[in-house]
Structure 1
Amino acid sequence: SVADEDKGLALGTLTVFISLLGFIPAPIIMGAIIDSSCQVWDQSCGVSGNCWLYDSDKFRTIIHLVPAVFTFISVFGDLVVYYYSHELDLYGDRDDDVELEKPAANTKEENHEESRLLDAHQDHSHPHQDPETPTPTPVPTPRLLHARTEEELNLPA
């Protein structure tokens, strides 16, 4: 697991390693495999050089069979990952989906309660209260906060 602020660096590092493992050894390995089908090598000063003659049947088999085998291994690995990936919960994605569900619409009773709270908040004169005592501010229920913002309710910030 990687911290949120390090995900970019981790992804970049992973890309570098995949590129190094994919682009550097592959041409060297394929070159050695192709050279295995050589029949006549150039010899100059006791050092072997380029291949002059390839066994065409062996070359054709190798040049098609080796990539096919690696492709099969890769597809098999992809299928294994696909099969087991349904059980993964990466970064808590499933929990986020549940939290993002919309709240149900307000009922008539809740709208009436909201109006009553607004009226009580705007009416600062209470007949049974001492004028020196501050008026308590009604607190909207959490459901009302989901339905409206403080601006829409005209509540002080």
Structure 2
Amino acid sequence: RYKRVDLPIRAVALLRRQAVDVRLIVAGTGDHAAPLRELVAELGIGDAVEFAGFVSEDRKLELFRRAWVHVLTSPKEGWGITNLEAAACGTPTVASDSPGLRDSVVDGETGFLVPHGDVPALAGRLRALIEDRALVERMGADARRFALRFTWDRAASETEAFLREAARAH
């Protein structure tokens, strides 16, 4: 419920009304699955939305690699780890412009940030990516480079440098 999966579902419905060929795969489980399935039926987009349920890490990476775009519309996140996982697979993200997600998406470079709850804005950014393969490829390459900044080796090196500097200061 807190991930607000209803927003990309509504964006898909809007895009379908605009004759845009789009498909959404919803990965994960939760107590809100039944209402989301009802929403899909109510909007008449059952042929455009697949509920994958629980997915293994391998399947998740496969989905990221196949996708043109990853979507995360949470109003708040501590950190957008799935955005970074998608980025590492070369997949741009369209996400809600919320504090934790701002750190994992560089707006206009590795994906897009949209005002939370703004379905037309979300649909517009998705449409831009659907209709411009070169944009997807550029953002995907930028996303992959961005993700490489977040390795364990780099984190260890930066932590060590910080601790050495702190020790020198005292």
Normalised-by-shorter TM-score class: under 0.3
TM-score normalised by L of structure 2:
0.23
Higher relative CO (Cα under 8 Å, sequence separation at least 6) belongs to 2
Which one has a larger percent helix, Structure 1 or Structure 2?
A: 1
Bigger Rg, which one: 1
